[in-house]
Structure 1
Amino acid sequence: MSNTPHQLAEEFPEYVGKIRHLREADGHFRRIADEYDVMNWAIHRAETDIEPTDDLRMTDMRKERMRLKDEIYGILTRPEVVEELP
Structure 2
Amino acid sequence: MLSERICMFHEYRDEIKELSNKNPHFHKIFEEHNALDDEIATLEASGTDDLKIATLKKKKLYLKDEIYRMIQEHKDAHAPNH
TM score, norm. by length of structure 2:
0.80
Question: Which of structure 1's runs of 4+ aligned residues deviate more than 4 A?
Answer: none
Match of residue 54 from structure 2: 59
- State the identity %: 31
CA distance in 1, matches of 2:21, 2:41: 26
**Matched residue count:** 75
Which structure carries more helix by proportion? 2
TM score, norm. by length of structure 1:
0.76
* Structure 1 residue runs without a partner (length 5+): 2-6
Larger Rg, first or second structure (1 or 2): 1
Q: Which fold has the larger relative contact order, with Cα–Cα distance below 8 Å and residues 6 or more apart in sequence?
A: 2
CA RMSD, 1 decimal: 2.0
* Structure 2 residue runs without a partner (length 5+): none
Match of residue 65 from structure 2: 70
AA in 2 matched with 1:43: I
CA distance in 1, matches of 2:17, 2:66: 16
1:81/1:17 Cα in 2 relative to 1: closer, same or farther (>3 Å)?
closer
